[in-house]
Amino acid sequence: MSTPKTIIQKIWDQHVVASEPGKPDLLFIDLHLVHEVTSPQAFEGLRLAGRRVRHPELTLATVDHNVPTIDRDKPWTDPLSVQQVEALRRNCEEFGIPLFGVGDIRQGIVHVIGPEQGLTQPGMTIVCGDSHTSTHGAFGALAFGIGTSEVEHVLATQTLPQAKPKTMSVEVNGELHPGVTAKDVILGIIAKIGVSGGVGHVIEYRGEVIRKLSMEGRMTICNMSIEGGARAGLIAPDDTTFAYMEGRRFAPKGADWEKALDYWRSLPTDEGAEFDTYVTLDASEIEPTVTWGTTPAQSVPVTGRVPDPSEAPTPQARELAERALHYMGLEPGTPIQEIRLDRVFIGSCTNSRIEDLRAAAEIVRGRKVAPHVRAMVVPGSGLVKHQAEEEGLDRIFKEAGFEWRDAGCSMCLGMNPDILLPGERCASTSNRNFEGRQGRGGRTHLVSPQMAAAAAIAGHFVDIREWK
């Protein structure tokens, strides 16, 4: 019998096109996703070297970071956005790359549209010049972010030199309490391993809790792998994966589907395969979670209080906590549920899929956003937006006083007009709460869509488990 392998090892081995001792392996890349921010210099590099794109049919581009989410047909206010979006359009035309551009209903956040189109498939290697490419790992793909020079390398050769990562098993067992979501699970994992706990590793998320999650929930988990320092994160494909994929535009059809299923079913980690690092989490310990600081690891249950830096385990942790509280404008000991909010953002590649919007709408139905709060919902793609409108979710949000926007990264990061003002406090379903992330001086608290929706109505954080 051959040595048992992890899914990570299996995908790796399938994609090595050249291997030399002491050097990184050269991997074939099955799918290359491109957006407007990290691609301009890569295309410029190709032009200067007189090269073509090796496999335009394995490449797909969209615009997400810079696009405004309102009044797109009017002149855009930010000249850099206009320039980058226009540059991508020209580059795609010149190099023959398919583009889901502004005005195309399929346009959206790059990590939402790949799975939505059935392009993201188990066993693939997927790269994008974007750290949250790990999202695609939810389908059992090895998916990771790359830098602009690597984008150029992949465009030119459809391969990438990569050092072999270490492997980490993160197992979540038991049963989640009602009101606890995938977002709380990943915040719990990051709180446990820390923001650099995963450095050098690819994570496989395992255990009963992971198996029971929908594809949307799995994407939320894999999305934030990078926030725990990991190179990538993935989940073995199973019937949930296949049911989600079947019939999607680029998913295999007919006999090809059956053949693909055979391959996909061979991917899960073999019994007895070993990981370099093991982490386990008990689902019953996870509660609806709110970040209080400026890293995704700085979180507490919604029933908790802002921690006291003087209780931090090391002088260094104390200093970090003090700095975070200062930036966040919070006092130690404040009950989380007394933190008053100015803004609520439901969106981003972490939580802007249809299931997220349904969950948020369920909380909001028939109620009104607190008068002092400005709240917005930004669907992850034009197709998510369309689906939500078919289901009447847009009406629920609008009647409650939420703004209903067009697809894009929006207020996840300050690269477009959707930003916080200095000092504004926001409950956000995104993945990063770094200083200035949502606009200079803005204060971000990461939460699940349900928690964000309830906070918009109440005007402060509330325990979703008590929502009636």
User: Which member of 122, 145, 309, 442 binds ligand IPM (CB under 6 A)?
Assistant: 145
Which one of 8, 29, 31, 37 is in contact with ligand IPM (CB under 6 A)?
A: 37
The answer to whether 59 and 97 are in contact (CB under 8 A) is yes
Query: Shortest distance, CB of residue 316 to ligand SF4, whole angstroms?
Result: 27
Q: Least Å distance between CB 434 and ligand IPM?
A: 9
User: How does DSSP classify residue 381?
Assistant: B
Return d(Cα 233, Cα 142) in angstroms, integer.
Answer: 8
Candidates 389, 410, 387, 407; CA nearest to 398 is 389
85 vs 409, which CB is nearer to ligand SF4? 409
Residue 447: helix, strand or coil by DSSP?
Answer: coil
Minimum CB distance to ligand SF4 smaller for 306 or for 426: 426
Residue 71: Cβ within 10 Å count: 11
Side chain identity at residue 376, one-letter code: M
Residue 299 binds: one of ligand IPM, ligand SF4, none (C-beta under 5 to 8 A by kind)? none
What does DSSP assign to residue 72?
T
Q: Considering beta carbons, is residue 7 or 413 the nearer one to ligand IPM?
A: 413
Tokens of 462: 């509330």
**Tokens of residue 316, six digits:** 């260094």
Question: What tokens were used for 41?
Answer: 């210099």
- What residues form DSSP beta bridges with 300? 290
120 binds, among ligand IPM, ligand SF4, none (CB under 5 to 8 A by kind): none
Between residues 38 and 121, which has the closer beta carbon with respect to ligand IPM? 38
Calculate the alpha carbon distances from 244 to 2, 19, 202, 238, 240 in Å.
Answer: 32, 35, 24, 10, 6
Q: How many residues of this chain bind ligand SF4 (CB under 6 A)? A: 13
Q: Binding of ligand IPM at residue 413 (CB under 6 A)? A: yes
Q: Please select the residue that binds ligand SF4; options are 59, 84, 220, 348, rule is CB under 6 A.
A: 348
70-78, 127-135, 248-256, 281-289 -> range binding ligand IPM (CB under 6 A): 127-135
* Residue 117 interacts with ligand SF4 (CB under 6 A): yes or no: no
Helix/strand/coil percent split, the chain, to 5: 40, 20, 45
443 is in the binding site of which of ligand IPM, ligand SF4, none (Cβ under 5 to 8 A by kind)? none
Interaxial angle between packed helices 148-157 and 40-49, expressed in degrees from 0 to 180 and rounded to the nearest 10: 50
Query: Of 121 and 430, which CB lies nearer to ligand SF4 in the complex structure?
Result: 430
Q: What gap in Å lies between CA 223 and CA 103, rounded to an integer? A: 26
Nearest CB to ligand IPM, comparing residues 130 and 342: 130
> Interface with ligand SF4 includes 92 (CB under 6 A)?
no
289 contacts ligand IPM (rule: CB under 6 A): no
**DSSP H helical segments within 401-463, as ranges?**
449-458
Q: Which amino acid is at 390?
A: E
User: Is residue 65 close enough to count as binding ligand IPM by CB under 6 A?
Assistant: yes
409 is an annotated ligand-binding site residue: yes
Residue type, 140: G
Asked if 225 interacts with ligand SF4 (CB under 6 A), we say: no
Strands (E), 57-189: 59-62, 99-100, 125-128, 142-145, 159-162, 166-173
Stretch of residues binding ligand SF4 (CB under 6 A), selected from 18-26, 153-161, 408-416, 443-451: 408-416
Instruction: Confirm or deny that 128 is annotated as ligand binding.
Output: no
Residue 428 engages ligand IPM in binding (rule: CB under 6 A): no
What's the half-sphere exposure (Cβ side, CA atoms, 13 Å) at 124?
27
CB 79 → ligand IPM: shortest distance, Å? 18
Half-sphere exposure of 284 (CA within 13 A, CB side): 1
User: Taking CB within 5 to 8 Å according to partner kind, which of ligand IPM, ligand SF4, none is near residue 348?
Assistant: ligand SF4
DSSP state of 437: T
Q: Which of 168, 413, 420, 451 binds ligand SF4 (CB under 6 A)?
A: 413
Binding site for ligand IPM (CB under 6 A): 37-38, 65, 130-132, 145, 413
Provide the annotated binding site: 349, 409, 412
Binding site for ligand SF4 (CB under 6 A): 64-65, 109, 111, 130, 132, 348-349, 409, 412-413, 430-431
Provide the annotated binding site for [4Fe-4S] cluster: 349, 409, 412
